[in-house]
Chains A and B, each alone.
Chain A
Amino acid sequence: MIEAHDLTKRFGSKTAVAGIDFRVEPGRVTGFLGPNGAGKSTTMRMIAGLDRPSAGSVTVNGRPYRQHTAPLREVGILLDAKAVHTGRSAYKHLLAMAATHGIGRKRVREVIELAGLESVANKRVGGFSLGMGQRLGIAAALLGDPATVILDEPVNGLDPEGVRWVRTLVRGLAAEGRTVLLSSHLMSEMAQTADHLIVLGRGRVVADASVDEVIARASGTSVRVRTPNLAGLNRAIAGPDVSVSTLDDGAAVVTGLSSEQIGDAAASAGIAIHELTALSSSLEDAYLSLTADEVEYRSTSVAPTPEEVAR
């Protein structure tokens, strides 16, 4: 369980995290989303006691991180795959980390095996690929068999097999009743892995809800309709909140009405319907619409949009 109350971090005149409140509950995977500069990493660093909050507080399993007598048993953290001395072997790195808590070689070998690092365990970390670094970081996070696991961009640089490994691992950890906080920019991956989402934008929480809720809230209902009599259907369903746009292949997309309402209206007007499909938007669409106003560093499109061309 992670709880933040009025958590604030200012760097000089810039406010990175602006008094946020949230709870990360055990037994499920909580996704931590937000554009670059939204305050995710700063928040994670404050959870881990690396940065001190300017105001407010954050606790892990009921206490500020620094007050735990066995921090590695409480929280496993992957903040940065490269938080390892490049001149040391993976095995010695894990052994040194484990030694602080009196955790022995057996457990070290166990996490090395778990992360699939057996063949490179005695090699110096400086020569590791990004993916190997991620695996080492995850192995280190799991050393103390912690009740809470925090992973910042764990799939960054992993191959498809590794991505699936992280997904299975993270789901398994949550199923065991652990608290899991996971950040990623890969929305498709997040949609498959997370149960719950906390979305940050410019240091504030812009959404704190289940994945389904976030998607549903962000997208208006839209329905794809195929009919030989589009003009008739247009008249039958016309209303103040209803809009109809035509696609290239002759189908139309109706927003503002459910598929039931459209089907009923067509039936009473005697209009044939060939297709009626409710369109749900992806998490990516939902995320982009949620954070559209919150993006700190926006890339502007150089190519003109189709509308501009039409003008």
Chain B
Amino acid sequence: MTAATLTRQPAATIRSDARLTFGRILRSEWIKLTSLRSTVWSLALIVVLGVGLSLMIASLGSALGGEQAVADPNTVLTATTIGVGFGQLIAAVLGVLVITGEYSTGMIKSTLAAVPGRLSVLVAKSLVLFTLVTAVGFVTVFGSWAATYPIFDGQGTAAGLAEDGLAIALAGSAVYLGLVSVFAIGLGTLLRSTAGGIAAALGVMLVLDTAVSLLAIVADWVSDVTPYLFSSAGSAMAQLPFSDNPDQFGLGLLEPWQGGLVALAWTLAAFILGAIRLKRQDA
């Protein structure tokens, strides 16, 4: 061995405690997520579509409806969360892309070489995306509420955030968007294909609903399953609590908090399946 072996100095620009920590992996995933244009575009689209559609619905309502002069939290809620239906599709596509984009470009090799434990990458990705998408969801629905307030106020039907748990329902729809994005990360990690991941995510959120309601025509008991579908659970999360709003029983949805648990279960199921494949199979 040459003398050089003994004289090799670590690069002065690297801190001596340079090693993996979960906080640093979170930071890395934050840099990755925010340095892609697709992220910025998708998130901007959620806000613009959400607020735009709310304004449209609110204006339509004011053009059609008569003067009620009574606070109507249900109408306000419907108008302000109307964009969530589109937002969930965008959140799903974004969630799938966050992981399948790494597989299709080969980036996953760099990622896993830096973090060979693998699971911490998936956890960090999910936490970062959940936080960002939920935050954007909050901006969207509370932004929609604020933007439509003057219109509803003109009709006399405006509802304050404290009214009938409106704020909780709005928060629920924002959290649902975050859960959808993590659900999609799970499916993307499981399938390692952008097309497959998007098809699976949209399949669960859109096609499954239709299939179940068609089946319910033939077999009555199938309709009992409906409230436990992912998107039904999402709708449950974004409604007013039953205690404040007894006539909601007729809709066949779960209580908001129950809906939240069901949506969380769907999310965890997809995440765990993805985690198993990530951990077990060669990259």
A residues within 8 Å of B by Cβ?
Answer: 26-27, 45, 48-52, 65-66, 68-73, 75, 77, 79-80, 82-89, 92-93, 95-97, 99-104, 106-107, 110, 140, 144-145, 175-178
Asked whether A96 lies within 8 Å of B32 as measured between CB atoms, the reply is yes
Which A residues are CB-close (under 8 A) to B15? Answer: 102-104
Which A residues are CB-close (under 8 A) to B105? Answer: 82-87
Does B114 reach chain A (CB closer than 8 Å)? yes
Asked whether B36 lies within 8 Å of A52 as measured between CB atoms, the reply is no
| Separation of A106 and B11 alpha carbons in the complex (Å) | 11
| Separation of A73 and B11 alpha carbons in the complex (Å) | 10
From B8, B102, B106, B117, A80 is in contact (CB under 8 Å) with B106
From A48, A65, A69, A104, B13 is in contact (CB under 8 Å) with A104
Which B residues are CB-close (under 8 A) to A97? Answer: 28, 110, 114
Asked whether A106 lies within 8 Å of B13 as measured between CB atoms, the reply is yes
Asked whether B110 lies within 8 Å of A84 as measured between CB atoms, the reply is yes
- Known contacts being A85-B36, A176-B4, is A96 close to B28, with CB within 8 Å? yes
| Separation of A95 and B6 alpha carbons in the complex (Å) | 30
- Known contacts being A71-B114, A140-B110, is A92 close to B11, with CB within 8 Å? no
From B36, B106, B282, A88 is in contact (CB under 8 Å) with B36
| Separation of A50 and B21 alpha carbons in the complex (Å) | 20
**What are the interface flags for B84-117 relative to A under an 8 Å C-beta threshold, 1 for contact and 0 otherwise?**
0000000000000000011001111110111111
Total A-B residue pairs with C-beta atoms closer than 8 Å?
Answer: 141
| Separation of A82 and B282 alpha carbons in the complex (Å) | 18
| Separation of A89 and B14 alpha carbons in the complex (Å) | 22
> How many residues does chain B have at the interface if contact means C-beta atoms less than 8 Å apart?
44
Which A residues are CB-close (under 8 A) to B8? Answer: 176-178
B residues within 8 Å of A by Cβ?
Answer: 1-2, 4-8, 10-11, 13-15, 17-21, 24-25, 27-29, 31-32, 35-38, 101-102, 105-110, 112-117, 282-283
- Known contacts being A26-B1, A99-B31, is A79 close to B113, with CB within 8 Å? yes
Most buried by A among B11, B17, B101, B110: B110
- Minimal beta-carbon separation of A175 from chain B (angstroms): 5
Asked whether A102 lies within 8 Å of B282 as measured between CB atoms, the reply is no
Asked whether B109 lies within 8 Å of A99 as measured between CB atoms, the reply is no
Name A97's closest neighbour in chain B (CB-CB).
Answer: B114
- Minimal beta-carbon separation of B48 from chain A (angstroms): 21
- Known contacts being A85-B36, A87-B36, A99-B28, is A177 close to B5, with CB within 8 Å? yes
| Separation of A145 and B14 alpha carbons in the complex (Å) | 8
Name B25's closest neighbour in chain A (CB-CB).
Answer: A100
Name B18's closest neighbour in chain A (CB-CB).
Answer: A101
- Known contacts being A50-B109, A71-B116, A96-B32, is A145 close to B11, with CB within 8 Å? yes
Asked whether A83 lies within 8 Å of B282 as measured between CB atoms, the reply is no
Asked whether B106 lies within 8 Å of A82 as measured between CB atoms, the reply is yes
- Minimal beta-carbon separation of A311 from chain B (angstroms): 50
- Known contacts being A87-B37, A96-B32, A97-B114, is A71 close to B107, with CB within 8 Å? no
Which B residues are CB-close (under 8 A) to A75? Answer: 113
Which A residues are CB-close (under 8 A) to B283? Answer: 45, 50-51
Known: A79-B113, A101-B20, A104-B13; 14 extra A-B contacts, CB below 8 A, are: A27-B2, A50-B112, A73-B18, A83-B108, A85-B102, A86-B105, A87-B37, A96-B28, A99-B28, A100-B114, A103-B15, A103-B18, A145-B11, A145-B14
